[in-house]
């Protein structure tokens, strides 16, 4: 089995500490001339206008095609094929003015590779992860990402990461943003859920932010997630599912006890 992609090395931590949204969002299936569509509505601020988009998804010859039309008339077409080549997932998307091509290869048991190309900007990115086997009794996976602009030869992205597991604990560390951002996090199962903590050091700003959180699924089926960071800001998310419908409520408040941030996401399938 191939290791996780570079972007997923710290997923055990980010699944607990991130994913809070303070927008109002609605996703509702509709039908127009017997064509199945999904209407998505979003409002980021109470005094801001809502944005709309309609999405049509279909499958053609093992390729998933997704067409999105926004309220402003923008069009995006995305095609994903996971069986074109063995152990390779290929994704191509375009907004009719530019294009993006992504490929993920997991055909080597202890490696995972991802390559992204943007046209016509000539920006390219690549990442690789490799399992190094057991170190001090636990599995160790390391990875690297790099990106550049072929038109001017500039380096746009450089990062390193590692994931280590031992004794029920998963430790994730990364150095990204061309060496400017250092993250160290840990996650483990506890109290019928998952507990995680992370420290982020931004070198250019000499700032350190620590965050701790807990995620679980309640006995009644609701998904609960809570976090608190070193500035005193606490956040909470509660997800409820009933049949094809789901509702996620999010809220956060700082130590100044000012007006809380509130978000709601309603989705029907």
How much is the pLDDT for 197? Answer: 98
**Residue-averaged pLDDT of the chain:** 93
Does the pLDDT of residue 72 top 80, yes or no?
yes
Core vs surface per residue 92-110: b (16+ CB within 10 A) or e: bbeeeeeebebbbbbeeee
- The band of 87, judged by pLDDT with boundaries at 50, 70 and 90, is confident
How much is the pLDDT for 56? Answer: 94
Does the pLDDT of residue 203 top 90, yes or no?
yes
| Beta strands 154-166; 123-135: pairing state | unpaired
How much is the pLDDT for 47? Answer: 79
How much is the pLDDT for 20? Answer: 93
Helices and strands counted in the chain (H then E): 1, 19
Nearest to 235 by CA among 247, 244, 226: 226
Identify the structural domains of the chain with CATH numbers, from first to last. 6-268 (2.40.160.10)
Nearest to 70 by CA among 52, 57, 83: 52
Q: Please tell me the least confidently modeled range out of 9-18, 39-48, 92-101.
A: 39-48
Positive or negative: CA dihedral 95, 100, 104, 105 = positive
| Beta strands 123-135; 111-119: pairing state | antiparallel
Does the pLDDT of residue 229 top 90, yes or no?
yes
Mean of pLDDT values over 89-101:
93
Q: 214 near 226, Cβ under 8 Å?
A: yes
Percent of the chain at pLDDT > 70 equals 100
Joined together, the tokens standing for residue 134 give 């057991």
Highest mean pLDDT among 1-5, 61-65, 262-266: 262-266
Cα(126)–Cα(146) distance, integer angstroms = 6
Joined together, the tokens standing for residue 245 give 């419908």
How much is the pLDDT for 77? Answer: 95
Percent of the chain at pLDDT > 90 equals 75
Q: 116 near 128, Cβ under 8 Å?
A: no
Q: Mind listing the pLDDT tens digit for each residue in 99-134?
A: 999 999 988 888 999 999 998 888 999 999 999 988
């Amino acid at each position: 089995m191939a290791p996780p992609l570079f972007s997923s090395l710290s997923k055990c931590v980010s699944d607990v500490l991130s994913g809070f949204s303070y927008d109002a969002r609605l996703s509702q299936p509709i039908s127009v001339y017997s064509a199945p569509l999904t209407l998505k509505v979003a409002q980021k601020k109470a005094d801001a206008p809502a944005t709309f988009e309609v999405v049509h998804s279909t499958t053609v010859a093992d390729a998933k095609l997704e067409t999105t039309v926004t309220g402003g008339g923008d069009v995006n077409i995305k095609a994903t094929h996971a069986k074109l080549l063995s152990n390779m997932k290929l994704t191509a998307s375009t907004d009719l003015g530019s294009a993006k091509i992504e490929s993920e290869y997991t055909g080597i048991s202890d490696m995972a590779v991802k390559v992204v190309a943007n046209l016509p900007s000539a920006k390219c990115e690549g990442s690789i992860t490799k399992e190094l086997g057991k170190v001090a009794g636990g599995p160790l996976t390391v990875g690297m990402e790099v990106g550049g602009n072929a038109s001017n030869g500039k380096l746009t992205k450089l990062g390193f990461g590692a994931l280590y597991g031992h004794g029920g604990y998963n430790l994730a560390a990364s150095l990204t943003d061309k060496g400017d951002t250092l993250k160290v996090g840990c996650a483990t199962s506890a109290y019928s859920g998952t507990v995680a903590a992370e420290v982020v050091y931004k070198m250019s700003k000499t700032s350190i932010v620590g965050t701790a959180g807990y995620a679980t699924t309640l006995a009644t089926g609701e998904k609960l997630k809570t976090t608190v960071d070193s500035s005193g800001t606490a956040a909470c998310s509660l997800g409820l599912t009933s049949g094809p419908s789901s509702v996620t409520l999010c809220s956060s408040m700082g130590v100044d006890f000012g007006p809380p941030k509130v978000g709601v996401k309603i989705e029907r399938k």
